[in-house]
Amino acid sequence: MLVIRLSVVIKLFFQLEASVCPEKCDCSFKNAIHCSGPHITDLESLNLPCNMTKIHITDTNVTYVQDVFSGMGELQHLILSSNNIALISPEAFKEVFNDTVQLQQLIIENNRLKSIQENLFDRLKVYLDDNPWKCDCQILGFREWLQKSTEVVKEAQSLMCDSPLSLRNISLLALTDHHLKCLPTTAITYQMFKSTYSQTSTSLTMEHLKSSWETVTAVSDLDTSTPTSVPVERQGPQTPCLYSITKMCFYLP
């Protein structure tokens, strides 16, 4: 008898805990919660109740969506618009997409998403407008999935590239494999080598000029009473004088 009463108390405790409204969130509507504000930086810290049918989180500083919605079997509408979300964990919605969950709508508009793992969303309506999509080879998988999932992603034709500049305002659905090429490893290595070589060459040239300048200055200071005009014999085309020190002309070798 005592064991039964104890189990009932524990059950009631967890039900009460699940219905507690997080700080600075609005729970005035039945089975719905709305949280907003820049003070929110992590969804996990909200300790969202598990018995909600609608969760609305907006205007926060959340940048990463992790697995915080598991166990929410009654959740039907999840709105994560106008935040700073740049990354979504592959596990974030894994459990809310099974047959026992009633989630019907997911809205992640106006965030900072540049790319998304393909097949992350299935079986529901998802809205992804107003995100700064980066259209390079990293988005190929998502582009291919998107072209096959126009019934899942609402208004898919309105998803536009934000970068690179040459593809800005081009629809993701209109992209081809030619548009989404990335530089091969050899090209990247060559560019890095070229940049390093250019910097090293410039540094060596400046050191050589500095050393030559100091040598010429030392020679000119040896005897200021002698004429400072030094004839320079050169064969071939004349090179413009690089430095002039009181009628002395210094040429690069």
pLDDT at position 221 is 54
Strands 25-26 and 32-36 turn out to be: antiparallel
Q: Delimit the domains of the chain by residue range.
A: 19-185
Q: Give dist(CA 215, CA 247) in Å, integer.
A: 16
**222's tokens:** 């040896």
* pLDDT (mean) for 193-197: 51
With 60 as the cut, is the pLDDT of residue 247 above it?
no
Provide the β-strand partners of residue 160.
Answer: 171
pLDDT tens digit sequence for 155-193: 899 999 999 999 999 999 999 888 887 756 444 444 454
Q: Which CATH architecture has domain 19-185?
A: Alpha-Beta Horseshoe (3.80)
- Mean pLDDT (the chain, rounded): 75
The CA distance from 110 to 89, in Å, is 18
Averaged over 37-42, what is the pLDDT? 93
Predicted TM-score (pTM) of this structure: 0.64
The CA-CA-CA angle for residues 158, 86, 104, to 5°, reads 60
